[in-house]
Amino acid sequence: MTVRDLKNFSPLLFFSGLIGCLFPLALLIQRQFTKGILLLAGLGFLSWGLLEYTLHRFLFHLEAQKQSVRRLTYRMHLSHHENPQATDRLFSSLWLSVPVASIYFLLAWVLLGKWELAVYLWSGLVAGYLVYECVHYQAHHGRPRLALLRYLKKYHLLHHHSTPELRFGVTSPAFDYLFGTYRSVAR
């Protein structure tokens, strides 16, 4: 693994390590393992899909008037559309993912009232993010054997090569369907 590869995978390593520390610490402090913890983690996982869709549709494809904002959206995502095979443009960077994850965690803490509960919800979100990165990598560089992954690959590549104004979900077309940006992969 080269230094460049390590930089590409730094968000995955960073968030996996953080969850690996915070989740057991929250369990130790709370001293119970309940269905509520699983529910919060599951809700966090599901919330990833909405966050993924929202960021991809409204921020990453923003048609900005200001040059500085256009440069930012290019750096965040549009450069990936320019060269979808480039691995250095495939993964989210720490400079983008840490602020988004931090805001989510702080909002969860405020809403739930305890940082331990926020950790459970946030852990689900991070798990969704890690799945997203794996599915996104598969879509661009994999030869998936599972029918679901083959479908998601085709769905995502249609977003890149045919309809950049549609199909914003990478891990699921559910929010595309809900918000009217879904199109079937059948031609």
Query: What DSSP element (H or E) covers 140?
Result: helix 115-141
Q: Strand, coil or helix: what is 36?
A: helix
Q: Is the pLDDT of residue 3 over 60?
A: no
pLDDT at position 186, please?
A: 78
With bands split at pLDDT 50, 70 and 90, how would you rate the model's confidence at 38?
Answer: very high
Query: What DSSP element (H or E) covers 19?
Result: helix 10-30
Identify which has the larger pLDDT, 37 or 71: 37
pLDDT tens-digit series, residues 125-180: 999 999 998 899 999 899 999 999 999 999 999 998 999 999 999 999 999 999 99
